[in-house]
Amino acid sequence: METGTYISLAAYFVLMIAIGLYAWRKSTSDSAGYLLAGRNLHPAVAALSAGASDMSGWLLLGLPGALYASGLVEAWIGIGLFAGALVNWWVVAPRLRQQTEALGNALTIPQFLANKFPDKAVALRVTAAVIIVAFFAVYTAAGLVGGGKLFETSFSGLFSSAGMSDYMTGIWITAGVVLAYTMVGGFLAVSLTDFVQGCIMVVALILMPVVVLTTGTDLGAAAEAARAAGNPDYLSLFTGLSVIGFLSAVTWGLGYFGQPHIIVRFMAVRSVPDVRIARNIAMSWMGIALIGAVGVGIAGRAYAEANGVTVEDPETIFIILANLLFHPLITGFLLAALLAAIMSTISSQLLVASSSLTEDFYRLFLRKEASERETVTVGRICVLLVALLAIAIASDPDSQVLGLVSNAWAGFGAAFGPLIILSLTWNKMTGSGAVAGLVTGAAVVIGWIALGWNGSFMGGDGVYEIIPGFIAAWLAIFVVSNLTQPMES
């Protein structure tokens, strides 16, 4: 790798840590500052922070890889996500911003649920926190896998020559930088770095497919190669798409309503009227980013076929193109964009998992009288502990980013999605119904994955686990809430 690439990456790392130090000086003296930036995020920061923490390395690795391998039909995942995000900003964001502040100034999703349903407060806080920590460990691991693949592909042999694994070194470096600014600067650092990272990501996703096409690459080359490999409908959005396949793709959008690291941004926006501004910015960013990711996958396949480029792992096509087509300084910028996608999500997930451990375990059971300074310190320790667990999960170099993300995304979407929507919009929901929905959604997703029905269901295509999980959780909330309505006096 060229010196210019190292310079760009080093500059990116320094910038992230500098932002963390800035945030440390601004708002980490108490829990509200460390965990929610004092509910004072500018709408643009909240918007890009939500988008960057949402998309992760999946946007630059998983989605382009799926399109590279299977064709335009995989774009339905992005279409479903866009629709889900729009409804999330429209329905959930303003209500959650208003209600979390009104109901005891809740700093975490479990706290909000406990304040909303005080009769089941402890059960809700503990159950929600367990689910958050468990699924975020897997989700964070997915991001670290992306970091490992980046270093393994781009720095091949650099670390192994010194007796170290390129893959594991990448994981440790990625985790180390994220920990540095997250532990120091808290939510403000995470949000500000997300804003910068979101800007870097969208520029990279516009730049790469444009440059690939200016090399004279013909998209027909991708279609011809796919046809020769047995996929004649590579550039078709509809042909060959089964009903189950379509539903499994577009229902990714259902996951948005239950992603704690995304909806916590709604809680931190400066005011309820600012939510509308943030929504417009966020959806514009997301639309451009998704189109760019689709372009990277399709144009990347065409370029690889036309130029005889060997791509062993489709999820590395972005990295391969960055190394082949650009000046070293730009290559470094593009790799920084990938790191930005990975690190923005990891930092958000670590902080939310840490906040649940701190507020919903430590302060609830161990030290109710803990001072603000002590709570912030414990929060930093919890960030480290969750990161170490994620590193252990990510240590398998054969892990697939899209697979890990899809499992965690479904787990959160089914467990929290119906619960959040109904808690904000249905006044007949009860605490027992909330607990039932939370447990049912998570249990169905885990069981569906364990039975392998997400890979093959009744001899046909697999059914994405968020579909049965979301439906089961919604029904559980509805049925149990109606059965446990308080008696009128």
Q: pLDDT (tens digit, 0 to 9) for every residue of the chain, 489 residues total?
A: 577 788 888 888 888 888 877 777 765 555 666 666 667 788 998 898 888 877 776 788 888 988 888 888 888 888 988 999 999 999 999 999 999 888 888 878 888 999 999 999 899 988 988 888 888 888 888 888 878 887 887 776 666 666 667 888 888 988 888 888 777 777 777 788 888 888 888 888 899 888 888 877 666 766 676 666 666 777 778 776 778 778 877 888 888 898 888 888 898 888 999 999 999 999 999 999 999 999 899 888 888 888 888 888 888 888 888 888 888 888 888 888 878 778 877 888 888 888 888 877 787 777 777 777 787 788 888 888 888 888 888 887 766 655 777 888 898 899 999 999 999 999 999 999 999 999 999 999 999 999 888 877 777 778 889 999 999 999 999 999 999 987 654
pLDDT at site 413: 92
Point out which residues pair with 133 in neighbouring strands.
none
Which CATH superfamily hosts domain 3-401?
Sodium/glucose cotransporter (1.20.1730.10)
pLDDT at site 228: 64
Compute φ and ψ for 395, nearest 5 degrees: -70, -15
Q: Which of 388, 296, 309 is nearest to 337 (CA)?
A: 296
Residues whose CB is less than 8 angstroms from the CB of residue 267 and which lie 6 or more positions away in sequence, other chains included: 36, 39, 96, 97, 100, 101, 106, 107, 112
pLDDT at site 489: 42
pLDDT at site 9: 82
In degrees, to the nearest 5, what angle opens at C-alpha 142 toward C-alphas 139 and 144? 115
Q: Which of 89, 69, 78 is nearest to 278 (CA)?
A: 89
Alpha carbon distance 192, 181 (integer Å):
11
Collapsing DSSP states into helix, strand and coil, what is residue 460? strand
pLDDT at site 32: 60
For residue 317, the surrounding DSSP H or E stretch is helix 317-325
